[in-house]
Structure 1
Amino acid sequence: MDDQNKNLILATALSFLVILGWYSFFPPPEPEPAPETVANETAPAGDTAAAPGAAQPDTAVSTQPSEEAQAPDAPRLTIDTPRLAGSISLQGGRIDDLALKDYHVELAEDSDIVRVLSPVGEDNAFYALYGWAPGTGLGFDDVPGANTVWSADEGQVLTPDSPVTLTWDNGKGLTFTRTVAVDEDYLFSVTQSVQNATGATVALAPYGTLARHGEPANLKNFFILHEGVVGMADGELAEIDYGDMADFDPDPRDGSRAEVKQVESNGWLGFTDHYWMSTLIPEPGQGFRSIAKYDERREIYQTDVVLPTATLADGESSEVTTMLFSGAKEWATIRGYQKDGIEGFLDSIDWGWFFFLTKPIFAVLHWLHAMIGNMGWSIIGLTIFIKILVFPLAYKSYASMAKMKELQPQMEKLKERAGDDRQKLQKEMMELYKKEKVNPAAGCLPILIQIPIFFSLYKVIFVTLELRHAAFFGPFQDLSAPDPTSLMNLFGLLPFSGPEPGTIFATVFIGILPILLGVSMWLQQKLNPAPTDPTQKMIFAWMPWVFMFMLGGFASGLVVYWIANNTITFTQQYLIMRSHGYKPDVFGNIKSSMKRAPKTEDK
């Protein structure tokens, strides 16, 4: 076996094993549930709105939890923006009903729109609650709680141009006001103020809470994707899975478990799902106490931000503004909020281990999509861009392979002279490589470079919202999902979908894109004659078709990338090898590979 074939088989085997391992440990996600089970895709439901605890270690704010949040039956204020629909309950002043006008649960335009927040009493309740934790001179009856009914002028509607105002008087000299505003996208601003007319000094701490009843109904539990608590604390990103919250330190007050951090100046905290997120965001530069909490008795997941305690003499007032993001994890929108001062907000998107590749790859893909308007063609454009970027290495590699082909006659002579002396053969081959300035390992470089790029692009296609329900052409209307065509629907000609992803039928009856992938890999092999070694020949013969079936369940956008990459690689390699004097006989190699090996007679 010559060194060129050894390197080629090593590189392809390495690529195969890495991708096979990736596929084994990180299988493609399960298909989204039917509309009736996913209508509340990120719609959570009611929880115990426990007071978050002391605002600062050195304050006298009470740590006693408040009463459990009850299902709201009070009047509501409508939320109506270009991108959001929902309402605010006057019971607790909760933002607990929110849906995204731009996103549907399924591809069909008449399917339900995605809900990100839901009130107590519904399945998987999830809501935002604001309030004040009582300190010196106050009890829980003196501050608004989870079930306090606020007052508001009738007919108020929350829009980007019209904030809404809620008020509550405790009847003992404290008047609380809450003003809620919202922008054109997904960012709420909540301004809380209190006026002290009690005739005495009081202390209290403003807080915000996100409370979630149970894990989300559509939790993916997919290793490549983070779902759960996400937060930033003074430049340090924290990602905590739901299952890991049970390992927090126990709270002796109520048996819950909590992780507490003191943030000095910049941060945010909340929950992230696959495509949607809700986070509490104090103003930039504002220190706060960050709390992630799990109440096992009621299976409540909760995040709190507690701001510094305000000590008010009689006649004084205090006001604080915090923000709430609740919506889709759109790259451009979140990037805009980060530019406006929310530190590290773009890291709320799960970029993964190869973030140094994933971020720029997506930035280029986003730019191409803005220019082209079609995500499938944008992926092909991205492939061309990447191939141009790594062309110098590819050129060196293919030139080296062409040179190796030219040296083949000399290498055969060396083998004849060396006979069974392997050491002599290796020494003379190395001298030949040195004399002719050939690096036999150069052929591995394109494949080795391709592996992290492949993983990064897979992360981009699976995680980023922009690929969800992104169309290419014809039957390929969701590039984040596997190829929907198969022999069962005549590859998209019949008006019904193929086998359900993840089933044995989907594995066997693969679609058009996986077949094109296998063919493109097979043609790429035919640039060189089949190896004479029977083992190598068998591996080469099976590899394209193994990849074809293995990648058939991956996101179709990734398969589009792989097909484009193989096609461009074939063209590059063919032209570069011809320019260096070696003319690949593609059709001859195909013809010879079809011939059956002659039978050997027993002697």
Structure 2
Amino acid sequence: MDDQNKNLILATVLSFVVITAWMILFPPAEPQQIDPSAPAATGQMTASDVATVMPPMTDAAGAATADTTADVSAEQAEAGRIDVDTPALSGTISLLGGRFDDLKLKSYRQTQEAGSDIVTLLRPTGSAHAYYALYGWVPGGQTGSEDVPGPKTLWQVESGTTLTPDSPVTLAWSNGKGLTFRRMIAVDEKYLFTVTQSVENTGATSHRMAPYGVLARHGEPDDLKGFFILHEGVVRQVDKELEEMDYGDAADLDFDQRENARADVMQVEENGWIGFTDHYWMTTLIPAPGQAFTSAVRYAENADVYQTQVRLPAMDVAAGETKSVETQLFAGAKEWETIREYQNENGIYRFLDSIDWGWFFFLTKPIFAVLHWLNGLIGNMGWSIIGLTLIIKAVLLPLAYKSYVSMAKMKELQPEMEKIKEKAGEDKAKLQQEMMALYKTEKVNPASGCLPILLQIPIFFSLYKVIFVTLELRHAPWIGWIRDLSAPDPSSILNLFGLLPNAAPSPESFLAIISLGILPIILGISMWLQQKLNPAPTDATQAMIFAWMPWVFMFMLGQFASGLVLYWIANNTITFTQQYLIMRSHGHRPDVLGNVLKSFKRKPKDSE
């Protein structure tokens, strides 16, 4: 490899080191949390005022759409509830407003500790970080607000006792003026609720009204990561456009007088959905495919309440007529296979894009699909990552082969290149011309040796994205001490990898950077051995930088997810093997042991 190649590789790798160091040492600041239960300043509205203070918005069809985040914790405590029991979910639905406000995920726990609580997704008002879903009707025309059910309506159970996949429940409420509203709720084996809202008009006059669905969140989540590689906040599909909006962006929306809040309202013609996405969990309002609706994001600034809304077109319900509308609610874990099934089988348009695949989606999607397939065969994510590495290296092998062959030819041409340098002297133009002529004659591309390394960078970032974002890596064990591939190696050199009684430093501690685990140390050694396939560069500066590089990477990647470090170790090992065999096949026998021994020898003073 000539100096030009070395400089390009050096610049590429150093750029990566800088990016990596920045990501670890300078993550975005945690956004300031606002306590939704704290009293508001004089003259400001509180969470309990939101529903009554904010005026309704009138859509193009003339239907009003009102806010629905009233604080009803006192009434809620006295209202009845319907149990929810599925293989994946447990919780209750409040009869006050018919709200989904108590939901837990049976298959997931907060931590890997024995007895850890299962993950809570939805919480009622009055609790910290209240988070819930509401459905209802907004009056239009001559129909008054008292004629339709609202957030404080006390529903009656018409049929069903416990909501299960085999037994839907139906709620009913009559306004005493000839209108009877019903809400039938069904749920599948996983996380998809189907909500059918109907209104029966037994009166003598026609009524106009519009159905809606709302997801409300009081304050930002308490476990908000605030890391730029992960999107947390609003996610919505508007026809063919996917939009992601952070909580900070929602809070910075322009104030809309018609909404009496910071808001962003968009019309959806055919397909779409909207909701909130967390690191591993999500809630989403989903109208029927082909259904036009209005999608809204709202933030009540002084009450610190975020909303996503689905507003369906207004409908006229004539005397003696019954009308209904069906929508769906996803509330659960962002399981790739489950979400893909909802997209393919239920026709939820581009629902798989609700998982944050990032800028390199064209790599992250297929990478995860292969990883998921391998895990189905092997049954262990750690070995699946190693298998994925083998597949990636096999795909890149033709390119790597050409690269290593080119590097071998460059070594053979080294004597000729030295002669050209001596002949050209200080004439750089002549040197360049002679070098290019030599490359052309010998059919050598000096840049080809860098291409495999350059391709590794987007693949590395894509796998980092996959491991950090996807739920399937959460709490996934590999072997022995590696019980969570999405977390850093828990072993520590500071306690002799568990031989001493003191615990390893917490990830938030500065000592965590130097508290290297077993995997990061193996990573550093693998990079160091890979370098020893070739003698050290003759340039003293380059030699010093290359000598330090494995150990810099060892510290920089030490606090990365174990799955990512495992990939990098496997990649280094396979690369070493490939390069060694290809070099041998071209008559060059790498003196790995000799190069290792030379690195330990002290240089003479006159060469230092």
Report the TM-score when normalising by structure 1: 0.93
Partner of 1:281: 286
Partner of 1:360: 366
Take 1:226 and 1:27, find their aligned partners in 2: how far apart are those partners? Answer: 20
CA separation of 1:67/1:441 partners in 2, compared to 1, >3 Å: closer, same or farther?
Answer: closer
Aligned pairs, number: 586
Partner of 1:13: 11
1:50-77 Cα shifts (integer Å, max 9, x gaps) = 7894573132x23555682311120100
C-alpha displacement of 1:26: 6.4
Partner of 2:250: 245
Take 2:67 and 2:514, find their aligned partners in 1: how far apart are those partners? Answer: 56
Choose which of 440, 446, 468 in structure 1 pairs with 2:446. Answer: 440
C-alpha contact 2:61 2:313 (8 A) present in aligned 1 = no
1:530-589 Cα shifts (integer Å, max 9, x gaps) = 112110111111111011101101111100000000110011011111111211111111
CA separation of 1:121/1:419 partners in 2, compared to 1, >3 Å: closer, same or farther?
Answer: same
Q: Does 1:68 align with 2:74?
A: no
CA separation of 1:511/1:246 partners in 2, compared to 1, >3 Å: closer, same or farther?
Answer: same
Partner of 1:479: 485
Take 1:47 and 1:226, find their aligned partners in 2: how far apart are those partners? Answer: 30
Q: How does 1:98-497 map to 2 (within 5 A)?
A: 98-152=103-157, 156-253=161-258, 255-340=260-345, 341-493=347-499, 497=503
C-alpha contact 2:374 2:387 (8 A) present in aligned 1 = yes
The residue matched to 1:133 in structure 2 has which SS?
A: strand
1:151-208 Cα shifts (integer Å, max 9, x gaps) = 0158700000000111101111110101100000000000110011221111001111
The residue matched to 1:160 in structure 2 has which SS?
A: coil
The residue matched to 1:402 in structure 2 has which SS?
A: helix
CA separation of 1:200/1:154 partners in 2, compared to 1, >3 Å: closer, same or farther?
Answer: closer
Take 1:601 and 1:295, find their aligned partners in 2: how far apart are those partners? Answer: 70
Q: How does 1:31-50 map to 2 (within 5 A)?
A: 48=50
Partner of 2:598: 592
CA separation of 1:324/1:225 partners in 2, compared to 1, >3 Å: closer, same or farther?
Answer: same
Take 1:405 and 1:363, find their aligned partners in 2: how far apart are those partners? Answer: 40
> AA paired with 2:313?
P
> AA paired with 2:433?
K
> AA paired with 2:369?
A
**Alpha-carbon RMSD:** 2.2
Report the TM-score when normalising by structure 2: 0.92
Percentage of pairs with the same residue: 63
C-alpha displacement of 1:48: 4.8
Partner of 2:510: 504
Q: Does 1:547 align with 2:545?
A: no
The residue matched to 2:595 in structure 1 has which SS?
A: helix
Partner of 2:39: none
C-alpha contact 1:79 1:88 (8 A) present in aligned 2 = yes
C-alpha contact 1:206 1:309 (8 A) present in aligned 2 = yes
C-alpha displacement of 1:313: 1.3
Take 1:356 and 1:47, find their aligned partners in 2: how far apart are those partners? Answer: 46
Take 1:67 and 1:12, find their aligned partners in 2: how far apart are those partners? Answer: 56
1:328-380 Cα shifts (integer Å, max 9, x gaps) = 00000000000020001000000000001110000000001111111111101
C-alpha contact 1:268 1:280 (8 A) present in aligned 2 = yes
CA separation of 1:163/1:48 partners in 2, compared to 1, >3 Å: closer, same or farther?
Answer: farther
Partner of 1:81: 86
> AA paired with 1:58?
A
Partner of 1:42: none
> AA paired with 1:561?
Y
C-alpha contact 1:82 1:184 (8 A) present in aligned 2 = yes
Partner of 2:587: 581
CA separation of 1:486/1:26 partners in 2, compared to 1, >3 Å: closer, same or farther?
Answer: closer
Choose which of 45, 58, 61 in structure 2 pairs with 1:58. Answer: 61
Partner of 1:41: none
Instruction: Indicate the larger mover: 481-490 or 508-517.
Output: 481-490
Take 1:429 and 1:331, find their aligned partners in 2: how far apart are those partners? Answer: 52
> AA paired with 1:292?
V
Take 1:284 and 1:137, find their aligned partners in 2: how far apart are those partners? Answer: 31
Take 1:539 and 1:183, find their aligned partners in 2: how far apart are those partners? Answer: 58
CA separation of 1:438/1:97 partners in 2, compared to 1, >3 Å: closer, same or farther?
Answer: same
